[in-house]
Amino acid sequence: MLFYGSQVIGISWDESIHEESLVEYFQSGWLVPRAYFGQGLPDAAYTVVYGPVALIFLQLGGAVLGVHSWFGSSFSAAAFESRHLFVAILSLVAIFSVFVIARLLWRSWRWAILALAVVFSIPLWVGHSMFNVKDLPVAAGFTLFTLGLVLMSRDTHFAKARWWALIGVTLGSIIAVGSRPGIWVALLASTLGTFSLLLLIDARTRGMQEAVKRSVFGVLSVSSGFMLALVLLWVVYPAVFHNPPQLLWSSVSASRTFVLDGGSTLTAGSELAANPPWTYIPLWLGAQLPLLVIITAVTGLLGLLITYVARLASSGHAETWVRGGIPIALQAIVVPVASLVLGSTLYGGLRQLLFIYPAIALLSVLGIFNVGKYIDESSRQIHKQALWIGIVIGLLFPFVSQWRLFPYNFAHFNPVAATQNINESWDVDGWWLSGRELVENQMFPERTFCVESAARPLADCDKIPVIEPY
C-alpha cells in the first residue's frame, strides 16, 4: 500500500516549491526559490529552515531511474512519482529503526513484528510516507538517531554496539538536521535528557563516579557523531553550514515562527491561527491516532514513568526496556511540549511533528507489554487471550480504514472524531493531493475556478503546479 500509493497519489503544494529550491541550489548554492530573493540576496529565514540532504537523495534516485538528468529540474508527473518512491524508501529507514529498537528492548522477534504492525496501523504515518518530502526525512533521521541513543543506553556496553550507535547518531543527524536544521534542539534535548535520567539510575546502583563517567562518555559519543555530521553537511551545503553556531541559533528562531502564508487550520470545528492554543496538538492526536494506539501509548508512557521512579526509589537495576524507553519517550514528547510552551508555528494538522509517530508506536508496544505482564502475574489465561483479541481488532480497524481511504490514508479520523462531520470540523486535504484524481477522471465542469490561497484567490487551473503535470 505504501509503495503503490506513492505512485498513484497526487502532488502536494510544497513539492514544486522544493524542486524550485533545488534548482536554485544547483545554480547558486542557496536552497531558496528564486521568488524569495530580494536585491540578489535570499530570504534570511528561508535559508536556515530547510536543508538539501533529502532533496538531493530524491534527485539522485530519479537520475538513477532515468526520469531526469543528474542536476536538472523536472516537473513532470514521472519525476514526482520517482520522488514519492524514494520518500517511501526513507520511511523504511524509520520503520526499520522501530523494528530494531523493539528487538533490542524485548529481545524478541515477535515484539519487533508487533512494533511493525503498530507503526503501520497509524494511517497518518503511512499516508505522509507516500509524498511528504519536507517532514518524512526529519522523522526518519530522528528515529535513526533515537536508535543510536537506545544502543548507548543499555546497561551492558559492547564495542560493536557502540560503533553501531555512533553510526546511527551520525546518519540520523545528517538526515534530520540536513533536511530541517532547527531539529538540532530536539536532538540535543533528547540526548541530555536521556543521559541525565540514566545518570540518576546508575548513581543508585553503580555509584556517582561511575554513573557520571558513563553519562559523560555517552554525551561525548553523541557529540562526536553530531560534529561529524556537521562537517559532512558543511561539504553539502557550505553557504549555510560554514558557520554552525550562527546556523544553530538562527534555525531555531526561524523554524519556530516560519510560515509562508499565515492562514488558519480547521480544528474540531474551529479555525485556529498558525500560533494555536495548547489544545491544538492533543486535539489532532486524539482525532487521528487509532484508539488502540492512544490507549496503549498513554499506558506505556505512564508505565515507563512509574517503573523508572520505582527503580530510582529502590536502588534496583532498571530493565532494558526502561533504559531504552527513555529516549523513545523523549522523542515523542520533547518537541510537542516545547511547542506548547514557546507558542511555535503549527498548521495543517501535525505533519510538522511527523517524527513523533514512530516513537508513539513504540510507546504503544510498551503499553501492551506492561498490560500483558500484569495479566501474566495476576490474572487467568482467558484474560490474556482477551487482551490479544482486542489488540488484533484494534489493529484491524485502522487497516480497513486505510484500505477504504487509499491513497489518502492521511485523511483518517478515528471513530470518536468521526462522530462530528469531518469536512465541517477538520482540514483534510490542504495539500491538494486529490487534484490528480480530479483531473485524470475528467471531473472538471466546463467552468472551474481554482482557489490557491487568500493572497491569490483565483487562478487558471491548468497552471497550478499540483495539477499542471496531469
Averaged pLDDT score across all residues of the chain:
89
Residue 112 in contact with residue 62, Cβ under 8 Å? no
Strand partners, 265: 272
Residue 24 in contact with residue 30, Cβ under 8 Å? yes
Q: Which three cell numbers stand for residue 91?
A: 520511511
Q: Which three cell numbers stand for residue 459?
A: 487562478
Contacts of 166 (CB under 8 A, 6+ apart): 148, 221, 224, 225
% the chain with pLDDT above 70: 93
Backbone CA torsion sign across 32, 83, 141, 237: negative
- CB atoms under 10 Å from CB of 298, counted, come to 14
Q: How far apart are CA 292 and CA 417, in angstroms?
A: 14
Range 459-466 average pLDDT: 75
Q: pLDDT tens across 146-177, in order?
A: 999 999 998 766 667 788 999 999 999 999 99
Q: pLDDT tens across 310-330, in order?
A: 988 887 788 889 999 999 999
Contacts of 224 (CB under 8 A, 6+ apart): 166
Residue 178 in contact with residue 51, Cβ under 8 Å? yes
Query: What SS3 state is found at 347?
Result: coil
Q: What share of the chain is helix, strand, coil (3-state, %, to 5)?
A: 70, 5, 25
Contacts of 26 (CB under 8 A, 6+ apart): 71
- CB atoms under 10 Å from CB of 106, counted, come to 20
Q: How far apart are CA 196 and CA 425, in angstroms?
A: 42
Q: pLDDT tens across 354-379, in order?
A: 999 999 999 999 999 999 888 887 77
Q: How far apart are CA 455 and CA 263, in angstroms?
A: 10
> How many residues can be counted in the chain?
470
- If one compares 336 and 429, the residue with the highest pLDDT of the two is 336
Strand partners, 264: 273
In the predicted model, is pLDDT for residue 203 greater than 70? yes
Q: pLDDT tens across 283-294, in order?
A: 999 999 999 999
- CB atoms under 10 Å from CB of 341, counted, come to 9
Amino acid at position 275, single letter: N
Residue-level pLDDT at 447:
62
- CB atoms under 10 Å from CB of 288, counted, come to 24
In the predicted model, is pLDDT for residue 454 greater than 80? no
Q: pLDDT tens across 230-282, in order?
A: 999 999 999 989 888 888 777 766 665 555 555 688 898 888 887 888 899 99
Q: How far apart are CA 122 and CA 283, in angstroms?
A: 16
CA distances in angstroms from 122 to 128, 280, 413, 431, listed in the order given: 10, 19, 10, 19
